[in-house]
Structure 1
């Protein structure tokens, strides 16, 4: 729906409410509302809870925010988050009233998006960030909402805001716990093994030193990363040999080898027979 403008004794508010489409509801997270306010004397929210996750950016003014037993001073450039079913309260300084940008969203990965920006239930406030581009993005989001954008346009702007949140919080959520980065690395290899990826590339993807990455990968999965990548390539090659009519060169390129010679050499070394012999055996007797 278009942006609604309203004013009461506490604030001047511009806000757009979204009804998520089926496509949005199938996404990890989706926007619920986007708004901008300028507070008046006596502005105070709460104590209360919310069913959604909120990202609130302070454009101007000062105030105070309370949530989860913590108390935080608010100032220009600060970001703070509201979490579902958690009592929160915030208010403006009587001498320096707040102007805020407000994004509400929901979804199974909503909390994870805030965490990537360094905002968690234990630490719901951040200051001293370079959040100017994020605020400009939220402003654009509100302006575009007046034109009733499509669900894809809403998601695109929402994802841009979440990416800028992460970029505004260097180091926050960038290095996952060990079990997390190991799983993430394996998933990355499983998906991209045929695309010419390297062990160094996989280590860089999860932000871990290559030597430590290789050591921990082998301890966790019983095989070195390079052997794991090679195993995936050769297993797929064996499947293609038995179930398709692709030529040997086409199979070599399809699973990530640069040429037929290196593919045939690796295949015979690890499978004990050449690709041609493997295909003949799979075909069975004439």
Structure 2
């Protein structure tokens, strides 16, 4: 068995580029060597050159062999470990920046598909090695490493099923589905973005492109639609309708309803049902 080795580089540079390499290297792991369980604050791409190991994320376990790659996303719990008998040798790069989720959205990697076997595996390995060779802590080195990283991701884009606008549309629809299924609880943009496997800014751009509104506005509008249904087809009080539709604050609900529909919730109920406003339902806070 070949002797274990590790060659790596790490920088503390943050936030100066739209795509920024945090760490890069290659390693022949000793048997059973692993990392986690834990989370990273950046994306982490591994390409397995030889041997095998396991990668665990979100309740799933993948056994990886030579020629396969796995992607870890920020703030998603992961654990990976080299095989006891045939430990893997891999190349890796950790990176972040506003451009990272948009570039990854054009590759075959998704939150549901964190492992793949790239057709251009050897070229990907060379690309990761090029990042390592360009390493350095100054600004020019950061630019060079980002350039090689973009080229490496471009290899994956060439075999990805989703590109450009199609990728943004997919993330927007995935986010919208999540919001529709969770509208009644205190769900936020951060949780939605994490579920979709993208950053907040990427999710915002996706919603703007697909729905011409922000994720927060989309959620509010969906909640208002649900409130309209309840006002027309239930005997719940206005306050109960607000809570049922996901509005914890009845004053905010009334203001949002007026802004979206053009009248108060109780007036809307009267108009749609054709009846007089009952004392129980005439509860508009503002």
User: How does the TM-score come out when normalised to structure 2?
Assistant: 0.52
Which among 94, 119, 135 is matched to residue 104 of structure 1? 94
Which structure has the greater CA radius of gyration?
1
Indicate whether 1:14 and 2:7 are aligned.
Answer: yes
**2: CA distance between counterparts of 1:163 and 1:177?**
15
Deviation at 1:86, TM superposition (A): 0.9
Equivalence for 1:158: 149
Provide closer, same or farther for how the CA distance between residues 170 and 110 of structure 1 changes in structure 2, counting only shifts above 3 A.
closer
User: Any idea what the Cα deviations from partners look like across 1:62-115, whole Å, max 9, x if unmatched?
Assistant: 111111222211011111111111111111222211111110001123223223
Which among 137, 143, 147 is matched to residue 133 of structure 2? 143
**2: CA distance between counterparts of 1:44 and 1:179?**
36
Provide closer, same or farther for how the CA distance between residues 43 and 179 of structure 1 changes in structure 2, counting only shifts above 3 A.
closer
Provide closer, same or farther for how the CA distance between residues 178 and 82 of structure 1 changes in structure 2, counting only shifts above 3 A.
closer
Provide closer, same or farther for how the CA distance between residues 123 and 150 of structure 1 changes in structure 2, counting only shifts above 3 A.
same
Q: Does the 8 Å contact 1:52/1:84 carry over to 2?
A: yes
Provide closer, same or farther for how the CA distance between residues 27 and 60 of structure 1 changes in structure 2, counting only shifts above 3 A.
same
Provide closer, same or farther for how the CA distance between residues 91 and 151 of structure 1 changes in structure 2, counting only shifts above 3 A.
closer
Aligned residue for 2:67, secondary structure, equals: coil
Provide closer, same or farther for how the CA distance between residues 128 and 33 of structure 1 changes in structure 2, counting only shifts above 3 A.
closer
Deviation at 1:147, TM superposition (A): 9.7
Indicate whether 1:65 and 2:55 are aligned.
Answer: yes
Deviation at 1:120, TM superposition (A): 2.1
User: How does the TM-score come out when normalised to structure 1?
Assistant: 0.52
Q: Does the 8 Å contact 2:118/2:156 carry over to 1?
A: no
Deviation at 1:152, TM superposition (A): 2.6
User: Any idea what the Cα deviations from partners look like across 1:174-221, whole Å, max 9, x if unmatched?
Assistant: 6706958xxxxxxxxxxxxxxxxxxxxxxxxxxxxxxxxxxxxxxx9x
**1: CA distance between counterparts of 2:130 and 2:46?**
15
Provide closer, same or farther for how the CA distance between residues 136 and 71 of structure 1 changes in structure 2, counting only shifts above 3 A.
same
Structure 1 gaps, min length 5: 1-10, 181-219, 221-286
Equivalence for 1:232: none
Provide closer, same or farther for how the CA distance between residues 166 and 125 of structure 1 changes in structure 2, counting only shifts above 3 A.
same
User: Any idea what the Cα deviations from partners look like across 1:125-156, whole Å, max 9, x if unmatched?
Assistant: 11263321011111122123269763332222
Report 1:1-286 matches (<5 A).
12-20=5-13, 25-127=15-117, 129-145=119-135, 150-167=141-158, 169-173=159-163, 176=166
Aligned residue for 2:105, secondary structure, equals: helix
RMSD value, Cα: 2.9
**1: CA distance between counterparts of 2:93 and 2:169?**
32
Q: Does the 8 Å contact 2:120/2:155 carry over to 1?
A: no
**2: CA distance between counterparts of 1:19 and 1:81?**
21
Structure 2 gaps, min length 5: 171-210, 212-286
Provide closer, same or farther for how the CA distance between residues 69 and 174 of structure 1 changes in structure 2, counting only shifts above 3 A.
farther
Q: Does the 8 Å contact 1:58/1:101 carry over to 2?
A: yes
Q: Does the 8 Å contact 1:101/1:139 carry over to 2?
A: yes
Provide closer, same or farther for how the CA distance between residues 12 and 178 of structure 1 changes in structure 2, counting only shifts above 3 A.
closer
Q: Provide the aligned length of Structure 1 versus Structure 2.
A: 169
